[in-house]
Amino acid sequence: MEYPFEKYRSSNKDKELFHQLLPNVSAAMPEYFRALSVAYQSIEQKNMFNQPQGVRQTNGLTSSLNLLLIAMVNDRVIGVNDGLTKFIDTLRILVLKWYSFGNELKSCLYFGYYYYTHKSSSEHEVKQQIEAIRFVVDESARTSEDPRILDLLAAPNSNHWYGGENLIGDKLHNIIVQKGDFARVDLPRPGFQISFKASQMYDLRAPVALTDLQLERPLVTGEKAIVSCPKCLQKCRISMFKRMEITCPKCKQVWTQSA
């Protein structure tokens, strides 16, 4: 069984830049990955109801997360006053990037299990850790504007998604989430939560949540539909098929989406 992100890899140049530009994060990531891997081994052990027995409290996950969050602020990957959603999304990007350098898959799987499937618990944990690190970091520090860091940590997904009959997908990347792996939510903002509960096929390329503004459902009339270009937002009239490749008549952006 191959996970959707399993072949995600970065270049040696990216790896060198990561260590050069993010020295504190580079030092903290190995221990965080070790703790995630140990936690995954814990949930691999099932009880009589075929459910995870639980995560050992002595695996160092909390302390390694604390050190990583401090490193993220010190390397200006994120500001300590940024929102919880941004912290978790940045964690996701860092974990996927570290994995792409050839590190442990199981660490990513536990990250997926905890941050997607157990969203409330993981949010509570990160929120507590953010409050704890305020005493040891520079609260005035802001996210770096260094284009090398911004490019290195660019999200593997876009903010332009579409809704199909039984799925949602990214217009600009080959990321699709099937029915049962996402749910409609109204709080804290109307949108969709991605949980991978049905398939457990975690894909760290996908965000944990999407707002209504990030997801468009085609306006269907008969065999035609109107969709928006993910680049210039031009409205495009198309014929409906199971899988469609669309070219924007205005900016010539090409994207694919499913019905």
The tens digit of pLDDT for each residue in 92-139 reads 999 999 999 999 999 999 999 999 999 999 999 999 999 999 989 988
State whether 184 and 210 are in the same domain: yes
Give the Cα separation of 30 and 212 in Å (integer): 36
Are 128 and 185 in the same domain? no
CA angle, 81 then 65 then 198, to 5°: 100
The pLDDT of residue 227 is above 50: yes
Count: domains in the chain: 2
Same domain, 134 and 165: no
- Of 47 and 219, which is predicted with more confidence? 219
- Which 3 state secondary structure label does DSSP give 220? strand
Domain span at 241: 161-258
Distance CA 46, CA 91 (A): 27
What are the backbone angles phi and psi of residue 128, rounded to the nearest 5°?
-60, -40
Q: Is the pLDDT of residue 48 over 80?
A: no
Give the pLDDT score at 187. Answer: 77
Same domain, 213 and 231: yes
Residues 197, 135: one domain? no
Position 167 in a domain: yes
Instruction: Tally Cβ neighbours within 10 Å of residue 174.
Output: 9
